[in-house]
Amino acid sequence: MTSEFDLIRQHFTRATTHTDLAVGDDGALLRVAPGMQLVVSTDMLVAGTHFLPDADPADIGWKTAAVNISDMAAMAAQPRWITLALALPAAEVDWVARFAEGFAACCAAFNVDWIGGDTTRGPLNLCATVFGEVPVGRAVLRSGGSAGDDIWVSGQPGLAALGLQALLGQRELAGEARTSCLAALLRPQPRVALGLALRSVATAMLDVSDGLLGDLQHILERSGCGAQLEEVALPLAPVLAACGDAQAARDALLRGGDDYELLFCTPSTQRDTLQALSDKLALPLSRIGCLVEGEGIVLCRQDGSREALAGRGYDHFGKPGGN
Ligand code: ADP
Ligand code: MG
């Protein structure tokens, strides 16, 4: 029988590159550079809600780190440290080893030191807290948008939702389409480089975890604005366009969760900057509309018609059957 302490020593104790004291004592010691603010965020993943219980533990590990690191990107912060609190039904060493490999791989990919945590027995539950740095006053909040700003989204939202439908057997996906949708769902790539580059450019920003419209609504509420989206400008990924069901494709793009793309606003004077950034990062950036006076989200179609869209995203305590 492997003890809690064996698990910690063998699987959760990793080399660090910028930490004074990491796993092994009652607390970790971090040095925040002068002139920087510490940015802190926590995200929890629960079996059956955030991942399928039989998922590859390495993917679960990656995602546990990635969704946390994505919150640092959304603040325009440099992610630096992470802790992991986990409850495990039993000390299944193979599961833990693979989980820890995935978690550590994501940390390493973004130069984040894994500095501590807590390990206990209980229903499978994973909770990480990430710490990042941003120069004082330079974080990009949800509240800084104003009417006239452009609205942008990175990447191709909707792939993760399609991947989940494929895993649940609700949709046929094969070949490269299946591969790219499952990668988006299981191995999300936090947009750290983009977030950092937007520090001096974006007026408001967040990461899309609960669906583009629902998360846009958070910016609108905090910034006191409405939004006008252009249907023709929405980044409909080729695999979404090819899925043969226009309504499902639109739902995945606008309401699908789990993409971890960045949704942000910029003054319209920044369009060239954004184009150059997209080229530099080899990451599509789509200008999907603009902030307007008032409230709510309106979609403008090519034929000139307009449709009001409900900005509700996934809500764990929302009514069943809601968006
Ligand atoms: P304490 O009893 O003082 O709370 P623990 O026995 O829980 O300490 O943990 C011992 C050390 O192992 C601590 O440094 C803690 O941060 C680390 N640790 C425990 N669980 C994890 C984990 N899941 N990932 C990383 N470090 C962990
Ligand atoms: Mg202690």
Does pLDDT of 291 surpass 90?
yes
Ligand 1 binding pocket mutation candidate from 6, 23, 83, 107 (most atoms within 8 A of CB) = 23
When pLDDT is averaged across residues 234-257 and rounded to a whole number, the result is: 91
* pTM as predicted: 0.94
Strands (DSSP E) contained in the chain are 36-46, 78-88, 113-121, 125-135, 150-154, 204-208, 226-230, 261-266, 285-292, 297-300, 306-309
The three-state secondary structure class of 271 is helix
When pLDDT is averaged across residues 132-147 and rounded to a whole number, the result is: 98
Tell me the pLDDT tens digit for each residue of 209-230. Answer: 999 999 999 999 999 999 999 9
Does pLDDT of 322 surpass 60?
no
- The confidence band for 321, taking pLDDT boundaries of 50, 70 and 90, is very low
Does pLDDT of 323 surpass 50?
no
- The confidence band for 252, taking pLDDT boundaries of 50, 70 and 90, is very high
Q: Identify the pLDDT of residue 257.
A: 87
More confident residue, 96 or 244: 96
Amino acid at 127: C
Tell me the pLDDT tens digit for each residue of 9-32. Answer: 999 999 999 999 999 999 999 999
Distance, in Å, from the CA atom of 38 to the CA atom of 149, rounded to the nearest integer, reads: 28
Amino acid at 10: Q
When pLDDT is averaged across residues 97-125 and rounded to a whole number, the result is: 96
Return the CATH class of domain 4-135: alpha beta
Look at 128-137, 267-276, 309-318 and tell me which has the smallest mean pLDDT.
309-318
Q: What residue's CA is closest to ligand 1, atom 18? A: 117
Distance, in Å, from the CA atom of 262 to the CA atom of 75, rounded to the nearest integer, reads: 10
191 contacts 283 by C-beta, under 8 angstroms: yes
The three-state secondary structure class of 225 is coil
Look at 46-60, 149-163, 288-302 and tell me which has the smallest mean pLDDT.
46-60
In terms of Cα–Cα distance, which of 210, 218, 72, 226 is closest to 140?
A: 72
When pLDDT is averaged across residues 300-307 and rounded to a whole number, the result is: 94
Q: Identify the pLDDT of residue 1.
A: 55
In terms of Cα–Cα distance, which of 19, 144, 149 is closest to 76?
A: 144
Distance, in Å, from the CA atom of 122 to the CA atom of 146, rounded to the nearest integer, reads: 46
Work out which ligand 1 atom sits closest to the CA atom of 25. Answer: 14
When pLDDT is averaged across residues 147-173 and rounded to a whole number, the result is: 95
Residue 272 beta carbon below 6 angstroms from any ligand 1 atom: no
The bound ligand whose nearest atom lies closest to the alpha carbon of 116 is 1
Q: Identify the pLDDT of residue 78.
A: 98
Residues 150-309: name the CATH superfamily. PurM-like C-terminal domain (3.90.650.10)
Domain boundaries, the chain: 4-135, 150-309
Ligand 1 binding pocket mutation candidate from 8, 14, 44 (most atoms within 8 A of CB) = 8
